[in-house]
Chain A
Amino acid sequence: MSILDQRKLIESIHPFGLLSRETLDNLMQKIDIAYYPKDTLLISKNLPSIAFYIIIKGSVSESKDDEIHNVYSHGDTFDADALIYGKCEGKFVVDEDLICYEIKKDDFLELMQNKKVQNYFLQDFVTRHQQLKNYDMQSDFSGFLMARVSDMFLHKACVVEKDESIFSALSKQEKLKAHVIIVKDENEYSIVTDTDLRKHVLLGGADVKDEIATIATKGLISIDYADFLFNALLIMTQNEIKRVVVMKNKEVFGVLEQLDLLSYFANHSHLVAVQIDKALNIDDLKILQADMKNIIITLRAKGVKVRYITKLISTLNIKVYKKVFDMCVDAELQKDCALIVMGSEGREEQTLKSDQDNALIIRNGTDVKLYEEPMMKLNSYLLELGFPKCPGNIMVSNEFWRRNESGYKELIAGWTQSMSEADVQNLSIFLDAKCVAGDEKLLSSLITHLHHHFHQRADVLAHIAKAVLNFETPLSMFSGFVLEKEQQNRLDIKKGGLFALVHGVRTLCLEYEITQTNTIERIKELNNKGIIDKIFATELIESFDTLSAIRLKAALEAKSLDESNYINPQSLEKIQRDLLKDSFKIINKFKKFMSFHFHLNMVS
């Protein structure tokens, strides 16, 4: 009976739960309970590890170079690496009186003969992280959106040579019952849809004996056979198309129809997109807002990665912006300005509506005053739609964020000189800018101008980067004692983790003139340019994903906007808590990288 209770505890800890009955029985006979008073040194460089510890009560801190690296508490284990490699860089000290199970070194190494246990402990961070995540998913959801394009029913593609006649192409299409004709021209493909036929043959008077290539539309939108189904949905939503061509090894493989896809997803993000386009007035848009939140909730419950949810939501939000812009600004005025969104919206990382950060760039030579009234209207519409007011007043209704190109250039010149906090903040927000309506070139030329201005300005860059170190990573907050003193046992996931990552990556991109705004895209680009290596990049992306996922969970549960960044680690599942911890470790690693890169220890 009693042995059972202890068994249960051990079994609940990953990866011991994977062990067979006999192995576990066997293990139970080798486990002792040990007690260590506070401040006992368990493992260090000179004190090799003699056992594998599983904490029953109390906590232990791991530090490297006098910096807290991790805190272990009830249910946590440590330290497999010290046992396997026989050495340890850090120092494990008892933080709070410790009662723990001990598996002696030899017994532990014997246990490592078990493949499952071995796999778990020998993996590097990323794989372990992903394994834990998958394990977490399994327990929560089906692998619904892990589905790939290849899992879907694909329609046969009707591929014809470019010099085939329209007539023979059509009869081929009829035979295959295909919806579109794909025209092959050496390595390039183009497409003929019903619309093309109507426009060119029925209305345009093209002859059915003509070559099919003459009526084909270039720029085929395609997706890889192995890609996630979810990306197919994104492509369709973004491009407003009803089917997408599936490629395998650069050859046309089939056609994915929207109808099939939608019935597979059984949610109506595309319908929302269509409805946004069809909206005639602000009230139509308002009705759709509730649907957006539902999409987030369903997608999350289906296990979609947060970065895809945010992308989809951003796409929809941009549509809303465009629509509102069309409603407020005359067509005549539209071509001489660019409406930009900044901050999290610009990075396409927003889920639930956060403050609106937007601005207007007006072409030089056009009267700025003309835009005042439309922008006021636009702002009031957005407020009506539930985009919250920006407390920093970074909105088009504010004259400061509604200026012409030279006006912005003046601003930029100021930012390169100034070290004031407000300027750094404005610059950071502007760096995330994305054009949602109007003339895109107005923004891109400004960004190029901005990048040029920061050439050789390592001093200012370092000053901007310094903000990364503004908030401590809340790793030590996990131990029960510290949490109680902190506000309501919670930690701020934005301040503690996300901010450092987002801001750091942003600053690096300013230095290396990377124009992407999305954090994950930026990390990938930094990797492409060789500034960070592949492993680190993947670690950062996974951490970012984890932190965003936990934040989204908090936001969905929070009652108010101010609350949405706070999470209580104790309320998370053990696996999530481990993932969070691992992510914070990566954030710390990133902070070190930033300090080194920008010589932050020399900047005051």
Chain B
Amino acid sequence: MLFSFIDKMKAKANRSKLKEKEYEFLFEEDLSGEYIVFDTETTGLNPKRDDIVSIGAVKIKDNKILTSQTFEVFIKNSCEMSSRSIEIHRIRPIDLQNAKTTENAIREFLDFIGSRPLVGYYLEFDVSMINKYIKPMLGITLPNKKIEVSEIYFDQTISLIPQGNIDLRFDTILKNCGVPDMGAHNAVNDAIMTAMIFLKLKAKDTKKF
């Protein structure tokens, strides 16, 4: 009770800070029944210092990943990319030639997600990366409901092995859920794989969703 009350208060406070009226839709109740799975690729792991390089997102409706409506942007960046992140994401500076400015990319992203619940792996990090940009732009943080797949996975697995150590690495979850590895790790592929994991976990836990 108390927590939900505090959450509501926070949401209200967040909404009151919104600078641009056209983004009211972010706070409206979601009626689409869809989820957004998203992933960001960044120059590093510190939200304060590092920047977003690309965002990938897909919608989920019922048991389907709507890859027909895939969202993918690359962002121009002032920050130097570390060679390590080039290795992981395989995004070279040259790939960013057609990229958008951060502001445009973020606005497109918000239009895409609307008020749908957000799903992700280690979502907190991706959300705080987005927040880093929208806070100065719009005065708010992402108000959407957030669902962490590693948390669902943890809950479902801990009931099988109480007090066990649960490996929450992405590859492990992928393997245990029987989701095929799509190969290259980029924002959209990671989002699609996360979406598959979510669908599998969701199917086991029909009451919750």
Nearest B residue to A99 via CB reads B196
Pick from A5, A29, A35, A101: contact of B183, CB below 8 A.
A5
Query: What is the bound-complex CA distance between A37 and B65, given in angstroms?
Result: 14
Q: Contact: A57 with B179, CB < 8 Å?
A: yes
Kindly state whether residue B161 has any CB partner on chain A within 8 Å. no
A139 interface hit (Cβ, 8 Å) = no
Report Cα–Cα, A32/B69, bound state, in Å: 8
> A36 at interface (Cβ–Cβ under 8 A)?
yes
Q: Roughly how many angstroms separate A36 CA and B70 CA in the complex, as a whole number?
A: 20
Bound CA span A192–B70, Å = 79
Q: Is A2 an interface residue (CB 8 A)?
A: yes
Tell me the number of A-to-B contacts counted with CB atoms below 8 Å: 64
Which one of A2, A30, A34 lies within 8 Å of B186 (CB-CB)? A2
- Contacting pair A5 B196 (CB below 8 A): no
Nearest-neighbor residue (CB-CB) of A37 within chain B: B203
For the complex, is A3 an interface residue (Cβ under 8 Å from B)?
yes
Given the known interface contacts A2-B56, A57-B180, A99-B179, the answer about A34 and B64 at a Cβ–Cβ threshold of 8 Å is: yes
Q: Is A539 an interface residue (CB 8 A)?
A: no
Q: Which of A20-37 contact B (CB under 8 A)?
A: 29-37
> Chain A residues near B192 (CB, 8 Å)?
2, 33
Contacts of B67 in A (CB 8 A): 6, 31-33, 101
Q: Are A3 and B196 in contact (CB under 8 A)?
A: no
Query: In the complex, A356→B63 CA distance in Å?
Result: 59
Taking a contact as CB atoms under 8 Å apart, the answer to whether B199 and A35 are in contact is yes
Bound CA–CA A3/B66 (angstroms): 13
Q: Closest residue of chain B to A8, judged by CB?
A: B183
Q: Which residues of the partner chain B approach A2 to less than 8 Å between Cβ atoms?
A: 56, 70, 72, 182, 184, 186-189, 192
Q: Which residues of B contact A102 (CB under 8 A)?
A: 64
Chain B contact residue count (CB 8 A cutoff): 27
Residues of B47-67 contacting chain A, CB below 8 A: 56, 63-67
Asked if residues B66 and A32 are in contact (CB atoms below 8 Å), the reply is yes
A33 near B188 (CB under 8 angstroms)? Answer: no
Instruction: List, in ascending order, chain A residues with CB within 8 A of B95's CB.
Output: 1
A97 on interface, CB distance cutoff 8 Å: yes
Nearest to A6 among chain B residues (CB) is: B67
Contact across chains for B66 and A57 when beta carbons are under 8 A apart: no
Determine if A56 is an interface residue (Cβ-Cβ < 8 Å).
yes
Pairwise interchain contact B63-A1, C-beta atoms closer than 8 A: no
A99 touching B189 by the CB < 8 A rule? no
| Tier of interface size on chain A | 20 to 34
Contact, CB under 8 Å: A3 / B188: yes
CB contacts (< 8 Å) of B200 on chain A: these are 35, 37, 97
Q: A2-B56, A2-B186, A99-B180 are in contact. Are A34 and B63 (CB under 8 A)?
A: yes
Instruction: Map CB proximity to A onto B70-108 as digits: 1 under 8 Å, 0 otherwise.
Output: 101000000000000000001000010000000000000
- Does B68 count as interface, using CB distance less than 8 angstroms? yes
Task: Please name all residues of chain A whose beta carbon is closer than 8 Å to the beta carbon of B64 when the two chains form the complex.
Answer: 32-35, 102
Chain B nearest CB, measured from A30 CB (Å): 5
Closest Cβ of chain A to B37, distance in Å, is 11
The complex places the Cα of A99 from the Cα of B177 at a distance, in Å, of 11
Contact B65 A5 (CB under 8 A): no
In A30-62, the 8 Å CB interface with B consists of 30-37, 56-58
**Are A35 and B196 interface neighbours, CB within 8 A?**
yes
Nearest residue in A to B70 (C-beta to C-beta)?
A3
Q: Which of A31, A33, A34, A97 has the most CB of B within 10 A?
A: A33
Question: A30, B179: Cβ atoms under 8 Å?
Answer: no
- CB proximity of A481 to chain B, nearest CB, Å: 12
User: Contact at A29–B68, with CB atoms within 8 Å?
Assistant: yes
Contacts of A1 in B (CB 8 A): 90, 95, 184, 186, 188
A97 and B68 contact, Cβ closer than 8 Å, known pairs A5-B183, A33-B196: no
Give Cα A31–Cα B195 distance, bound, in whole angstroms: 15
Complexed CA–CA distance, A3 and B58 (Å): 12
Residues of A with C-beta under 8 A to B70: 2-3
User: How far, in angstroms, from A34 to B72 measured CA to CA in the complex?
Assistant: 20
Q: A2-B56, A5-B183 are in contact. Are A35 and B188 (CB under 8 A)?
A: no
Q: Which residue of A lies closest to B196 (CB)?
A: A99
Could you give, for residues 169-197 of chain B, a 1 whenever the CB lies within 8 Å of some chain A CB and a 0 otherwise?
A: 00000000011101110111100100110
- CB < 8 Å neighbour of A31 from B68, B72, B196: B68
Nearest-neighbor residue (CB-CB) of B180 within chain A? A57
Contact with A along B3-38 (1 / 0, CB 8 A): 000000000000000000000000000000000000
User: What A residues does B195 contact at CB under 8 A?
Assistant: 33
Task: Give the residue among B63, B90, B186 with the most A Cβ atoms within 10 A.
Answer: B63
Instruction: Report whether A5 and B66 are in contact in the complex, using a CB–CB cutoff of 8 Å.
Output: no
11 of the cross-chain contacts (CB-CB < 8 Å) are A2-B187, A5-B184, A6-B182, A29-B68, A32-B64, A33-B65, A33-B192, A35-B199, A35-B203, A97-B200, A99-B196
Give B residues with C-beta under 8 Å from A. Answer: 56, 63-68, 70, 72, 90, 95, 178-180, 182-184, 186-189, 192, 195-196, 199-200, 203
6 smallest CB-CB distances across A and B, nearest first, come from: A2-B188, A33-B65, A35-B199, A2-B189, A34-B64, A57-B180
With A32-B64, A101-B67 already in contact, 10 other A-B pairs whose C-beta atoms are closer than 8 Å: A2-B182, A2-B184, A5-B182, A30-B68, A31-B68, A33-B64, A33-B67, A33-B192, A33-B195, A33-B196
